[in-house]
Chains A and B, each alone.
Chain A
Amino acid sequence: MTREVFIAYVEREQEALRGFLLALCCGKKDDADDLAQDALVKAYLASAGYQDKGKFRSWLFKIAHNTFLNHKASCRTMNSIDEARTLIGGTPADASFAHQDLYLALRTLPPKERSAITLFYLSGYSIKEIAAITDTSEDAVKKQLSRGRDKLKERLKL
């Protein structure tokens, strides 16, 4: 894949990717955009091996998902401090954002459940596709979705 083809694809998909990462980062736009940029650079470096089968978005989401998990793993300590701060103060991650409740509820989910829920409800992927993106079995995705949905509904009082 040439650079201009890659950029053309990315221009088409960047909003979906940023939306996905914004949900994973619970509304922290700067973090989400940084992760999106990192994921896109990784995708660019791996684009020589990409075989175009019309699944560029899934491929991109897979890289973004792995980048997010790596990021979460690398700043686990920071996250727990962050979470504690949220619990004590109840301060929203981004006060200007309109849907803080959902983001705060998403924040209580483990990263894998959060990914599965976001891919299912926000990006509209099927369980099979989510399993491919997150490199897990369909049963595991179903469990993550079920658990995540219950936690979200309880938290959001739906």
Chain B
Amino acid sequence: MKKDKALEDLFLAQKPQFDDSDAFMASLTRRLDAVEYLKQYQEATIRRYKWAMVATFVIGIISGAVGITFLLAAPANVPLFTFHMHSVFLQWLSENSRMIVAIVLSLLMSFGLISIIANLQDIVRMKKRDSYSVATEYSL
């Protein structure tokens, strides 16, 4: 498509000149500072939340370990729980109660462990990014 000469001339003639570029850049820099501050505040909040998650999962794992210790310390020939009802399924549950509880606890502990690792990785990544941005800021 060809340009319309008259329109092109009109647009070129109205091309504005800005004599307040310094003020514009100063204003932009102030805005970017505010954005940086908010980003850092937000990241600090997320980091605190992630530490709280890690602490919760650690407590969960410790509780799981205590549960498994209790399981191992309990007499092997006595089921952990019994149902006073005649049902094949409930009877099977009470017969295998030790195994079922052990499996559930192990699964929960594995989930806790994976979550701890994931959260710690996130925290380390966020810290690295922070230190990088601080380093570049001070290299100005």
- A-side interface residues toward B, CB under 8 Å? 2-4, 7, 10-11, 14-15, 18-19, 22-23, 33, 36-37, 40-41, 44-45, 98-99, 102, 117-118, 120-122, 127, 142, 145-146, 149, 152-153, 156, 158
* A14-B25, A33-B24 as given contacts; A3 in contact with B4, CB under 8 Å: no
Q: Chain A nearest CB: distance from B1 CB in Å?
A: 6
Does the CB pair B29–A7 fall under 8 Å? yes
Contact yes or no, A2 B14, CB < 8 A:
no
Say yes or no: is B107 at the interface (Cβ < 8 Å to chain A): no
Contact with A along B110-140 (1 / 0, CB 8 A): 0000000000000000000000010011011
* Distance, CA A120 to CA B69, complexed state (A): 75
Complex Cα distance, B18 from A19, in Å, reads 9
Q: What mask results when residues 1 to 40 of chain B are scored 1 for a CB within 8 Å of chain A, else 0?
A: 1011011101111111110010011011101100110000
Kindly provide the distance from the CB of B3 to the nearest chain A CB, expressed in whole angstroms. Answer: 7
- Residues in chain A near residue B14, CB distance under 8 A: 23, 98-99, 102, 122
Residue ID in chain B nearest A138 by CB atoms: B1
**Hey, which chain B residues are within 8 Å of A33, CB to CB?**
24
Question: Do residues B31 and A37 form an inter-chain contact, with CB atoms below 8 A?
Answer: yes
Give the distance in Å from the alpha carbon of A102 to the alpha carbon of B16 in the complex: 13
- Does the CB pair A18–B24 fall under 8 Å? yes
Q: Is the interface of B mostly helix, strand, loop or mixed?
A: helix
By Cβ-Cβ distance, the 8 closest A-B pairs, closest first, are A99-B14, A121-B11, A158-B6, A2-B136, A122-B11, A19-B16, A15-B18, A121-B8
A17 to chain B, nearest CB (A): 10
Closest to A36 in B: B24
Smallest CB gap from A19: residue in B:
B16
A45 surroundings in chain B (CB, below 8 A): 35
Known: A102-B11, A158-B4. 13 other contacts (CB 8 A): A3-B32, A3-B133, A7-B28, A10-B28, A11-B21, A14-B24, A14-B28, A23-B14, A37-B27, A41-B31, A41-B32, A99-B14, A149-B4
A96 to B12, CA, bound (A): 18
Kindly state the separation between the CA atoms of A129 and B27 in the bound complex, as whole angstroms. 30
CB proximity of A84 to chain B, nearest CB, Å: 25
